[in-house]
Chains A and B, each alone.
Chain A
């Protein structure tokens, strides 16, 4: 048994970890270790475990404000430098085209400063919520320390990696130490489904997965859902289903019978479970469609659009012109590639914009004065309705593109 570090701390730390906790390796590592140990205390972790990578949230100036900047300055001024490979969540603006898109100078300058602070700590400034598209790609069973609820859900469910739903500061602390407290989704027994959803509803449109997520997330809350009866899914279907449940509930892990990797290796349903039947998705669509028929803006790419989605959307837009602004959000890296493959020219030739680094959820969209925004993201609807005070229309990629071409929403 390694030494008990301090009276009132129940975790077992190694000598190295204890030395960090005691401040023998500087203030930065001590604070980071104190955060990890405190979280371990709260959630009854017995120890820390090494992690392969980190996804750091807490980037948008809209959410951080001045206090968040002071927090980040402290780490940078004290020489913080990450130990684990770490990528960064989206910012509040397109870091290159903010002026052209109408973001305010004050917001943009502060936003760039925040991203610079993170980069100084060794975090790759990917500014995306889909880090797995940019090489932050753990393998099945890997322990990781990720924030960003949709990415957490994708990594846990689609990949079968293991992470709790970290907050910005706890992810940063994990990145600096290269470890995370071992509790929750890091443990086999905590990954079993608590609810089973038997889906009888017809899943024919890509938007049906986000809609299903609204119903399942509300029922499951913090638990783990297991889905039966789903058709063969595309990766973007998993992304939308997970993002939706992370917004409507706090779902950080789900299983799909015969499709997600853990559900293919062993039984993932807990003995005590509740069974729900999903007959149709009407309630979900009603909840997500609060806006008018007249559309002011169409937003796609929440979570950030993959190359596959960008290609699909560019094919729909080829040779056409949009009537209302259509914003497709993705990472700079993906947009760069899309540009070299010619998709960006097609998209922007229609008048739509391929916007990078940000998304509707974290940008100061309320400043633009829109009434109704159409989107293919159920998660986006949740946050736009609450934080951004705009009304929403929800449908698949085809419906959203049509809305941009006509300026009207049609079922």
Chain B
């Protein structure tokens, strides 16, 4: 079990399996808001579903409409349960806040792999290898 302390973006508690992308992620055009599936063919998690996962990626990119896509995912019930970034930017952070999705950044995400069990409490991230 490993513990990280990050910077709080959206406070809250959550847990779930990690889904890790090593590439910057665009929500608009990158994730289908109705299914939660990653539809960006350039993405290293193409075809995976973000629903119910702790979504881990370096930072967001693309259109600012991405914030609203995160809200749409939440409304459809297929949003990630939490978001962890290396260094967050306004698109994803605004999306997480308006959608009530706990979010932390300034975490060394190279230590996290897809399938790891993650617990988030405020700015604390606890990781158990899956």
Interface of A toward B, CB cutoff 8 Å: 6-10, 31, 34-35, 38-39, 41-42, 58, 63-68, 70-71, 74, 167-170
Can you list the 9 inter-chain pairs with the closest CB atoms, starting with the nearest? A8-B123, A8-B8, A67-B68, A67-B72, A169-B94, A38-B93, A34-B97, A68-B68, A167-B64
**Nearest chain B CB to A145's CB is how many angstroms away?**
13
> Whole-angstrom distance between the alpha carbons of A35 and B88 in the complex?
13
The residue that B71 contacts in the complex, of A8, A41, A71, A167, with Cβ under 8 A, is A71
From DSSP, what is the main secondary structure of chain B's interface residues? mixed
Interface of B toward A, CB cutoff 8 Å: 5-11, 33, 63-65, 67-69, 71-72, 75, 88-91, 93-94, 97-98, 104-105, 122-123
**Nearest chain B CB to A79's CB is how many angstroms away?**
16
**Nearest chain A CB to B1's CB is how many angstroms away?**
20
Interface contact A38-B65, CB-CB below 8 Å: no
Interface contact B123-A7, CB-CB below 8 Å: yes
- Most central of B11, B68, B123 by chain A CB within 10 Å: B68
The residue that B8 contacts in the complex, of A6, A58, A64, A71, with Cβ under 8 A, is A6
Enumerate chain A residues within 8 angstroms of B94, measured Cβ to Cβ: 35, 38, 167, 169-170
Interface contact B6-A8, CB-CB below 8 Å: yes
> Whole-angstrom distance between the alpha carbons of A64 and B64 in the complex?
9
Enumerate chain A residues within 8 angstroms of B122, measured Cβ to Cβ: 6-8
**Nearest chain B CB to A64's CB is how many angstroms away?**
7
The residue that A10 contacts in the complex, of B7, B65, B71, B104, with Cβ under 8 A, is B7
Enumerate chain B residues within 8 angstroms of A8, measured Cβ to Cβ: 5-8, 104, 122-123
Enumerate chain A residues within 8 angstroms of B9, measured Cβ to Cβ: 38, 41-42
A6-B8, A38-B93, A41-B9 known; 11 new pairs, CB 8 Å cut-off, are: A6-B122, A8-B6, A41-B8, A42-B88, A42-B90, A63-B65, A67-B71, A67-B72, A68-B68, A169-B64, A169-B90
The residue that A34 contacts in the complex, of B10, B67, B69, B89, with Cβ under 8 A, is B10
> Whole-angstrom distance between the alpha carbons of A9 and B9 in the complex?
8
**Nearest chain B CB to A123's CB is how many angstroms away?**
18
Contacts A7-B122, A8-B6, A9-B8 given: A70-B93 contact, CB under 8 Å? no
> Whole-angstrom distance between the alpha carbons of A66 and B71 in the complex?
11
Enumerate chain B residues within 8 angstroms of A31, measured Cβ to Cβ: 97-98
Closest A residue to B91 using CB positions: A167
Interface contact A71-B68, CB-CB below 8 Å: yes
Interface contact B75-A70, CB-CB below 8 Å: yes
> Whole-angstrom distance between the alpha carbons of A402 and B63 in the complex?
36
Enumerate chain B residues within 8 angstroms of A168, measured Cβ to Cβ: 64
**Nearest chain A CB to B93's CB is how many angstroms away?**
5
**Nearest chain A CB to B67's CB is how many angstroms away?**
6
